[in-house]
């Protein structure tokens, strides 16, 4: 896989969402953003044949183990403890015997012990009870493993484009100095064979660009070329948008 070296970098402070236009089908109505419209869209074959991954929300906020209504993002609960004190303070009082300011989220954080997680057992349960797991090789740079950070489906649904970021840490699970990012491709018909292709994002001198790409979207497509956009998280409150070309005949 080769990526063109024509890269446009735009520094931005806030990001507007980018969306890919869905190709129209003769046997379905255009998608209009509603749940009703989504229910009428045909399910692609690759979705039923295999899944690319499972996204799990897990952090100090998981210690709380509760959200009003039993649905929604767990990450929102820490602020809800204070914004909706009428509802959450009684729960905190019953569970921990105290409420803010004597006991708050700062104390809950200290109750989070990820080192106690049995990863082998966790993945055994996933394999046995939830979904068969398929290993996809994520690239390394100088023996530093990258972390899968974003993906989008190809227009013809034949594969996934993905981003994988590099940080100077012993594990891809932790933050560190930004080393660079990969852009890659996973053919959906090759999932069972663990196939993937990737290229390190470099400048015109072949030096890695020290940006952490965390999303990717297709801007336009011609017969042999995809124009893609990717957004970086620079860990300092700023972001960049990268515009690149991917040549389809080089994806193998």
Q: Give the tens place of pLDDT for each residue, 129-186.
A: 666 666 667 777 777 778 888 888 887 777 788 888 888 876 655 677 888 888 888 8
pTM equals 0.51
Q: Measure Cα distances from 53 to 56, 60, 160, 199 in Å.
A: 10, 22, 12, 21
User: What does the alpha-carbon distance between residue 96 and residue 74 come to, in Å, rounded to a whole number?
Assistant: 19
In the chain, what are the domain boundaries?
A: 8-12+44-52+136-250, 60-116
Helix (H/G/I), strand (E/B), else coil: 182 = strand
Residues 6+ apart with CB under 8 A from 50: 132, 134, 188, 191, 192
Cis amide leading into 174 (omega within 30): no
User: What does the alpha-carbon distance between residue 149 and residue 167 come to, in Å, rounded to a whole number?
Assistant: 12
| DSSP character at residue 67 | -
Half-sphere exposure of 129 (CA within 13 A, CB side): 6
Residues with pLDDT less than 70, the chain: 1-28, 44-56, 129-136, 170-174, 190-195, 248-252
Q: Given this model, what pLDDT does residue 48 score?
A: 61
Q: Given this model, what pLDDT does residue 49 score?
A: 58
Backbone angles phi, psi at 236, to 5 degrees: -130, 20
Residue with tokens 């295999």: 50
Half-sphere exposure of 133 (CA within 13 A, CB side): 13
């Amino acid at each position: 896989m080769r990526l063109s070296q024509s890269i446009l970098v735009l520094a931005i402070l806030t990001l507007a969402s980018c969306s890919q236009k869905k190709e129209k089908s003769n046997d379905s109505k255009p998608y209009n953003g509603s749940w009703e419209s989504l229910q009428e869209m045909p399910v692609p074959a690759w979705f039923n044949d295999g899944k690319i991954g499972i996204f799990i929300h897990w952090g100090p906020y998981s210690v709380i183990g509760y959200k009003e209504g039993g649905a929604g993002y767990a990450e929102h609960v820490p602020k809800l403890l204070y914004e909706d004190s009428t509802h959450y303070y009684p729960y905190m009082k019953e569970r921990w015997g105290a409420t803010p300011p004597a006991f708050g989220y700062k104390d809950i954080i200290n109750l989070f012990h990820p080192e106690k997680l049995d990863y082998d057992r966790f993945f055994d349960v996933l394999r046995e009870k939830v979904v068969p797991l398929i290993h996809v090789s994520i690239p390394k740079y100088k023996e530093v493993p990258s972390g899968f950070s974003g993906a989008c489906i190809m227009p013809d649904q034949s594969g996934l484009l993905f981003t994988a970021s590099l940080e100077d840490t012993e594990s891809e699970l932790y933050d560190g100095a930004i080393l660079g990012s990969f852009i890659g491709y996973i053919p959906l018909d090759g999932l069972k064979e663990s196939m993937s292709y990737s290229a390190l994002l470099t400048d015109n001198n072949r030096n890695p660009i020290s940006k952490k790409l965390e999303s990717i979207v297709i801007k336009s497509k011609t017969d042999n070329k995809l124009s893609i956009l990717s957004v970086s998280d620079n860990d300092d409150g700023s972001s960049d948008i990268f515009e690149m070309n991917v040549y389809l005949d080089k994806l193998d």
